[in-house]
Amino acid sequence: MKGTGRPGLDEYFLKIASVVAERSTCLRHRVGAVAVRDKHILATGYNGAAAGVKDCLELGCLRDEMNIESGTRHEICRAIHAEQNVIIQAALHGVSLEGATVYVTHSPCVLCAKMLVNARIKRFVTYGSYADESFKDLFQQVGIEFELHKSPPSHISYLP
């Protein structure tokens, strides 16, 4: 936050990603994503089961039941990742993510990183680290900027 009490753009959009994460149906990690271009939100996404399918809040976590550690065996999960959902939501509404910045509460798994590369984003900003860091080499190869920020404040300030 700058001296005026007004958050900078990165903090602002990271805070929005945190609110988006509140919609998650994952019992392990609540992840939110916001795709932005020219200071405008293009799409949002959070991690959870496919639309119309029972989720982990109802059925419990398969990964916990099977003692699968974070960052591995992505196929054994009901959830679609937040980054995948932000790409899907953009596509459903006919919005290109080319040149966008994607703000996410966690760094991406390598599968999501590959999808973000093909969506042609230019920047990925987060404040949380996921167990899988293999995305870093991929982002570097294609020139996607990666920034790890500190967690934005959880309070929202209003004028009196």
Residue 157 pLDDT exceeds 80: no
1 confidence band (pLDDT: 50, 70, 90): very low
Q: Evaluate whether 83 touches 116 at the Cβ level (below 8 Å).
A: yes
pLDDT at 61 over 80: no
pLDDT for res 22: 94
DSSP 7-22: PPHHHHHHHHHHHHHT
* Number of neighbours of residue 10 by Cβ within 10 angstroms: 17
- 150 Cβ contact list (under 8 Å, min separation 6): 127
**Candidate from 21-25, 45-49, 130-134 with smallest mean pLDDT:** 130-134
Question: Mind telling me the catalytic residues?
Answer: 83
Element housing 79 (H / E): strand 79-80
Per-residue CA distances from 47 to 120, 132, 139, 157 (Å): 21, 16, 22, 27
Token pair, residue 116, equals: 């973000």
- Judged against a pLDDT cut of 70, whether residue 89 lies above it is answered with yes
Above 70 in pLDDT, residue 72?
Answer: yes
More confident residue, 50 or 65: 50
Average pLDDT over residues 73-91: 89
pLDDT bracket for residue 159 (50, 70, 90): low
pLDDT at 37 over 60: yes
pLDDT at 55: 77
H or E element that contains 146? strand 145-148
Burial class (CB in 10 A: 0-12, 13-18, 19+), 157: exposed
Query: 104, 31 in Cβ contact below 8 A?
Result: yes
pLDDT of residue 41: 98
pLDDT at residue 93 is higher than 90: yes
